[in-house]
A and B are shown apart, each in its own frame.
Chain A
Amino acid sequence: MKKMSKEKISISIDARGSHCPGPMMELIKAIRQAEVGEIVELLSSEEGSLSDIPAWIEKAKHELVDMIKEDGYNRFLVRKTR
């Protein structure tokens, strides 16, 4: 059973198939557009995202709400906190 998050998603980005630094840059763009408190969903099949995305979120002081392993890609849910 895949874990499902009940959070309401405001912006969703499908960066599957995109190479480094695509997914990271797409996420940053979406966080810029989002309002504080909103959740951004990022789908990425790029391996580096697994370490890079959480590290960036920590540095930028946003919140990693969930990181879900799907079939062939990862789903990140990120809350804009400031």
Chain B
Amino acid sequence: MNKIIVIGGGFSGLTIANKLAKKARKYKLDITLIEPKDHNFYEPDLIFYAFNNKKLSKLYKPMHKLVRKRVNHIGMRAKKVETEKKKVILEDGTELDYDYLVLATGVKYIEKDFKYSEQKHIHHFYSPPATEKFRQMIKRFKGGTIVISPSTVPYKCPPAPVEFTFMLDSYLKKRKLRDKATIKFLYPLSVPFTVKEAAVVVAEMYKKRGIEFVPYCNYEKVDIENKKFISFEGEEIEYDELVLLPIHEGQDIIKESGLGDKEGYVPTDKFTLQVKGHPNIYAIGDCTDLPTSKAGAVSHYSAPTIVKNIINQIKGKEASAKYNGKTICFLVTSYQKAMMLDFSYNHPSRKYGLIPMRIYMLFKRLFRFLYFHILIKGII
């Protein structure tokens, strides 16, 4: 049997494990998925749930409904990888051998200077409890300045804070509060997110919609008492409510196993998706240092490359399959419309997708169904 261990059962780990399961019989694969959580959570809809009253529980699915039969799911954390011995050590001390390992551990959020749950006026929308706290605030909001900023780059889904800002603008208009509110969007670069062609269009839309954009603004700290965002560049920006994305880092296991860079992201070959210096270890999704977005779409398009390369290696061949950086994602611009970003290592975002349209919004809305019923199960 060829022993394959996948560490992390978020979208990336589940997709890989389930895709491998389809090949299990033919190639004699023994697949183990290590994931302590008993559910999976659909993050892209958080930008809608921040502004509605629906139950966040709708975004969860239990693991047992998502894992294919031929995948052995262990509901525990992995503590360490011993690459020399080809072993994974679990939190209870159990040691598991592998022939091939896939790292899919995602990122962790760090609360350094303050706890979001203890701050009345500092929010984010990157987890269900934080989204719940934000929506309690926004329901009571009567006017003032709302400042939105990431705290580190990279962070998950580069357009998400932009989408959130457009949703906030639309929501306040609907409640007839827009003229009582100032929206400021701060960003480390010259444009409001990392996909330049689309970011230029977004900057124009910000202007039209009266959203103030502050470029080259890197988070340094918050003066909580005086409600000021302080940038590394020395600017002080006052807020009534601050939406500050949490600090992102790689998971401890990556650093502790000597498999990460300074931020704990896994140095990964951008084409073969092998971990640099470890031909029998692969990395997928948010845990990697790939020069593209930390997005589920990247995992979806890159998963077949990992499956092909593992099979190639089992057959005694080179890991010759290559991921071309393909990504497609939707960027919501209002309640009705979205853009479609379609890019790869070889080409910038296609122009046709940069005009906001209703059809793209329809795709975005349908996506949760596709995510839970087709993509995560490795069907396509």
Binds A, one of B186-194, B246-254, B352-360: B186-194
How many A-B residue pairs lie within 8 Å, measured between CB atoms? 37
Bound-complex Cα distance A5 to B122 (A) = 45
Contact call A55/B216, Cβ cutoff below 8 A: yes
Bound-state Cα–Cα, A48 to B200, Å: 13
Q: Indicate whether A35 reaches chain B with its CB closer than 8 angstroms.
A: no
The answer to whether A9 has its CB under 8 Å from any CB of chain B is no
Known contacts A28-B188, A51-B190: A20-B232 contact under CB 8 Å: no
Check B233 for interface membership: any CB of A closer than 8 A.
yes
Which residue of B190, B215, B233, B291 contacts A22 across the interface (Cβ within 8 Å)?
B291
From the candidates B196, B218, B291, name the one contacting A28 in the complex (CB within 8 A).
Answer: B218
Report B208 CB to chain A, min CB distance, Å.
23
Q: Per-residue 0/1 for A4-24: is the Cβ within 8 Å of any B Cβ (1 yes, 0 no)?
A: 000000000000001111101
Q: What secondary structure prevails in chain A residues at the interface with B?
A: helix
Tell me whether A21 and B291 are in contact (CB under 8 A): no
Residue A59 interfacial (CB < 8 Å): yes
A59 lies within 8 A of B189 (CB): no
Question: When the two chains form the complex, which single residue of A20, A24, A82 contacts B234, counting CB atoms closer than 8 Å?
Answer: A82
Q: Measured between C-beta atoms, what is the minimum distance from A36 to chain B in Å?
A: 13
Give the shortest distance, in Å, between A44 (CB) and chain B (any CB): 13
A32 close to B232 (CB less than 8 A): yes
Interface centre among B218, B232, B234 (most CB of A within 10 A): B218
A52 sits at the interface (CB 8 A): yes
B233 touches A59 (CB 8 A): yes
B-contact bits for A51-82, CB 8 A (1 contact / 0 none): 11001100111000000000000000000001
> Assuming A56-B216, A56-B233, what are 6 further A-B pairs, CB within 8 angstroms?
A21-B194, A24-B188, A32-B232, A52-B189, A60-B233, A82-B234
